[in-house]
Amino acid sequence: MTSAYVPYNGTAGWSGTDTSMARAVDNVTSGRELNNQQKALAYIKNAGVFGVTWKELAIEMLWHHGTASGVLSVLHKEGEIARLYRTRGRCKIYINTFTAQMNPDMLVETYKKKTKPCPHCGKDVNKITV
């Protein structure tokens, strides 16, 4: 990974306030967003099938909830990680996408994309089976 995933107007997202937007832009231009995404990916990969919740990631990285959940959301949206249907401590569990593919018995949630029917068969083209 050589550049950060920035799916929201060139950033990893913000809450809607001007200060939040300024922080989001600064995170990208300073390289902080890329660093955070890389650190999260390495931590999740190391966790293996046990996976990681936002709380565990936040504690390990000393991040605020917004940073941890934001990084997880972007990485999930981009297909770098998978979110399990299972929970731990009332939090969803995230695992490496490769780990999910190698363990087909682990039920994963598809990132919330709008339904897009296939013009040929009518099935949702966003549904992926891991």
**For the segment 58-90, what is each residue's pLDDT rounded down to a tens digit?**
999 999 999 999 999 999 999 999 999 999 999
75 touches 41 (CB < 8 A): yes
Give the pLDDT score at 114.
59
Task: List residues bridging with 105 in a β-sheet.
Answer: none
Q: Is 121 left (phi over 0), alpha (psi -120 to 50) or beta?
A: alpha
Give the pLDDT score at 122.
72
Other CB atoms within 10 Å distance of the CB of residue 9: 10
Within a 13 Å sphere around the CA of 111, how many CA atoms are in the beta-carbon half? 14
Give the pLDDT score at 126.
56
Percent pLDDT > 70 in the chain is: 89
Q: Give the span between the Cα atoms of 58 and 40, in whole angstroms.
A: 10
